[in-house]
Structure 1
């Protein structure tokens, strides 16, 4: 039986670059690394690595085994799952954004809630020279813009919409947009599908002409994400 070694009595305070140096020392095929191996791979001294490991263990990134070696822990797996989910979402969303941009002639985007803000996660720009200047990763307030309204909509409200949310001049006096909430397999809100453009082009009348096409694109995206509406939801949407 392997005797467990005592844990180092140190505080886990270290700079981010050193933490990342230790985490990236783990390679494919590694099951666990000893302190000596970590010293060789990182160039850091033992006492520094020991302090880093306390922090990483506290946050669930590292597990210290009974023989003193270290292995990656569950928080790394969780972040990998988040990363993979984001990649999978992109595969579902981007083809629909290209379709919407082509059919509408305007910019198509996918927004997600990010705390007190909404974030543009994916975007396909309009082919027009005059268009909204926004990039993936840009943040906007949760104001009265169509995308913010869609991201605030309770499920029963969002699933029963008869027309997309529409706004003009909410965040930018020159911009208009229409949006629909998008739900996933567990009826969770995944984000908002958005068409945006200058108020001079994306008028209420033009937005109304896009309604059927926009709803079909949203339903197609939700089906792709595994969403299945209940019979009650289908009745509410009629």
Structure 2
């Protein structure tokens, strides 16, 4: 009796390769990709891409917009959270956010760049009843808010010396925030630490009083993630940047 097991076909592997080719076609800085752009980046024909996208949509990895373009979807955020947790990033970030909230009484968050948006990756809510309602995984525009400005700051600018960014009414007319960017050992931007609250409570004077604890938290987080602290005492004073 021939007990040799049949060899598995390669069609499944080939299909998986094509699905991953589409998924990895998305790059940092992409807002959305058209079918033509996906075809150009993957080398696949449009009809094949459309079939593959059905599977990606089924598993929440890609979403087709009303205009026919495609963006990465919420499952990518979940997988990123799993990745970050496996690398203990959250264990570095959350204690700093908890400390900021305890010291300031306001909400503390950690944002990362997500294409044309900023993604709230970690958050510790203010104990006040009146606070901003936003959860980890929510995305906001890259506008003139403090967190967005921090996520657009080149390392050389931060190294030269900056004050925390402050904004009021940039995204929400009733909200204010103060933020600093975080970098890794390769001087690449990792994210931004943000303190936010109602505009009538977190005015500029109140925000300035929080600059020292925000600088301290940013430096501690940068150091724990392998980067060079930038915001300690002795840094040169520069003109404050306002959103």
TM-score for the superposition, normalised by structure 1: 0.66
> Aligned in 2, Cα 1:138/1:213: closer, same or farther, shift over 3 Å?
same
| 2:163 aligned counterpart, secondary structure | coil
Contact in 2 for aligned 1:110/1:193 (Cα 8 Å): yes
**Count of equivalent residues:** 173
Counterparts of 1:81 and 1:128, CA distance in 2: 30
Counterparts of 1:237 and 1:121, CA distance in 2: 28
Structure 2 residues not aligned, in runs of 5+: 22-78, 237-243
- Post-superposition CA distance 1:34-84 (Å, at most 9, x none): 767xxxxxxxxx7xx753221124448xxxxxxxxxxxxxxxxxxx99944
Q: Which has the larger radius of gyration?
A: 1
Contact in 1 for aligned 2:216/2:232 (Cα 8 Å): no
Q: Which moved more, 1:51-60 or 1:158-167?
A: 51-60
Contact in 2 for aligned 1:150/1:158 (Cα 8 Å): no
Contact in 1 for aligned 2:110/2:194 (Cα 8 Å): yes
TM-score for the superposition, normalised by structure 2: 0.64
Instruction: Give the 4+ runs in structure 1 shifted more than 6 A.
Output: 233-236
Structure 1 residues not aligned, in runs of 5+: 1-33, 37-45, 61-79
Look up the match of 1:144.
144
Look up the match of 1:237.
235
Contact in 1 for aligned 2:106/2:195 (Cα 8 Å): yes
> Aligned in 2, Cα 1:177/1:161: closer, same or farther, shift over 3 Å?
farther
> Aligned in 2, Cα 1:55/1:179: closer, same or farther, shift over 3 Å?
same
- Post-superposition CA distance 1:161-214 (Å, at most 9, x none): 442000000000000000000011211111000000000110100011111111
Counterparts of 1:125 and 1:184, CA distance in 2: 26
Counterparts of 2:196 and 2:80, CA distance in 1: 31
Matches within 5 A, 1:49-198: 50-58=10-18, 59=20, 83-87=82-86, 88-198=88-198
> Aligned in 2, Cα 1:56/1:201: closer, same or farther, shift over 3 Å?
same
- CA RMSD across the alignment: 2.7
- Post-superposition CA distance 1:94-133 (Å, at most 9, x none): 0000000000000000000000000100000000000001
